[in-house]
Amino acid sequence: MKILVTGGCGYKGHVLVPKLLNKGYEVIAFDTQWFGNYHEPHENLQVVKGDVRNIESIPLAGVDCIIHLSSIANDPCGDLNPQLTWEVSALATMQLADKAKRLGIKHFIFASSGSVYGVKDEPQVTEELELKPISEYNKTKMVSERVLLSYGDDMTVQIVRPATVCGLSPRMRLDVSVNMLTMQALSKGRITVFGGAQTRPNIHIDDITDLYLFLIEHPQVTGIYNAGFENISILDIANIVTRYIPVDVIVTESNDPRSYRVNSDKLLATGFRPKKSVDDAVREIIERFRTGSLKDEDRFYNLKWMQQTVLAA
Ligand SMILES: NC(=O)c1ccc[n+]([C@@H]2O[C@H](COP(=O)([O-])OP(=O)(O)OC[C@H]3O[C@@H](n4cnc5c(N)ncnc54)[C@H](O)[C@@H]3O)[C@@H](O)[C@H]2O)c1
């Protein structure tokens, strides 16, 4: 089975691709490589540098399944250049789905985002709730979902709304909450949290990537699934970090109102089970930092890096 992973050189892609190779799949990691490429060579891996907006450049021949991860992957980056954001994160998704249908590709897995719900008062955010996305990023995800669902008669369409991901990847992200707070404690000797009371769901990078493997193996699981398992506050995350690195936690005012508890019962009903926790992610990051092979670098922060490189070009 041949699998195309768009965004295959991203934070998730770098953990997912080796797992796919271990399972014996042939893999194409297609990516602009804005954040580099750290994949080890492998006989079944083709790493292709390219832009999903250029649909003809995507090597789709012989592909059986697409895992679509490429996007301008957070709110502040999405706001930098809304046109780019819509082209990459929504229009390219539509073209890719259309091309997939024309080529007879029968399986499409999409990384949406739990942020499509916007600000919710309901105690439990389930898949049935109305979507009120706030940012350009969230809106492109909502529209992409709708487009992909319209291809449900032509192919298996599986849409995941992941919580904020945490944990280690060869292409690290330190702009996601758990990783960011852990790195603050390690490199600055203190943690600053904005607000702190907002509750957000989390998922370990090993679990979200295992979920994509699970979906490949369970094509009968179609439609939209939340994927977030630990609904805890930012302050709770800071307190987990301080169990291992006893630093001061400074709470300042936040202008980000999003606070929600995601319910993933629908996903759990498919038989999928997460295996790791925020605590695991924190410990793994601390251990890696202490080996000297993880440092606090600009390229691990999407906004900083896009401003310095992609958009400065
Ligand atoms: N990390 C999270 O917490 C999280 C949570 C929910 C959803 N998601 C979604 O999961 C997906 C992967 O996220 P990630 O954390 O790995 O982000 P990431 O930014 O590390 O990876 C995205 C990758 O897409 C690539 N890319 C961007 N524009 C492209 C283009 N035009 N053509 C080809 N490649 C392009 C980038 O170079 C990057 O490697 C994204 O769609 C993101 O929105 C992530």
Q: Where residue 32 sits, what CATH number does that domain have?
A: 3.40.50.720
CB of 70 closer than 6 angstroms to any ligand 1 atom: yes
Going from the Cα of 124 to the center of ligand 1, the distance in angstroms, rounded, reads 26
CB of 164 closer than 6 angstroms to any ligand 1 atom: yes
pLDDT given for residue 123 in this prediction:
80
Burial 88-107 (b: 16+ CB within 10 A, else e): bbbbbbbbbbeebeeeebeb
Whether 240 maps to a domain, the answer reads yes
Residue with the smallest CA separation from ligand 1 atom 15 is 11
pLDDT given for residue 257 in this prediction:
67
Whether 264 maps to a domain, the answer reads yes
CB of 281 closer than 6 angstroms to any ligand 1 atom: no
CB of 9 closer than 6 angstroms to any ligand 1 atom: yes
Q: Quick one: how far is CA 121 from the chain centroid?
A: 24
Residue ranges, the chain, pLDDT below 50: none
**pLDDT for 171-227, tens place per residue?**
999 999 999 999 999 999 999 998 888 888 999 999 999 999 999 999 999 999 999
pLDDT given for residue 121 in this prediction:
80
Per the structure, the count of domains in the chain is 1
Whether 312 maps to a domain, the answer reads no
Whether 171 maps to a domain, the answer reads yes
Please tell me whether the overall predicted TM-score, pTM, comes out greater than 0.85 for this model: yes
Whether 303 maps to a domain, the answer reads yes
Outline where DSSP puts E strands in 41-155. Answer: 45-49, 65-68, 107-111
Closest ligand 1 atom to 92 CA? 31
Whether 313 maps to a domain, the answer reads no
Yes or no: say if 30 and 9 are a contact pair by the CB < 8 Å rule: no
Whether 153 maps to a domain, the answer reads yes
Whether 184 maps to a domain, the answer reads yes
CB of 88 closer than 6 angstroms to any ligand 1 atom: yes
pLDDT given for residue 255 in this prediction:
74
Q: Are strands 107-111 and 65-68 parallel, antiparallel or unpaired?
A: parallel
Domain with 268, as residue range(s), is: 2-307
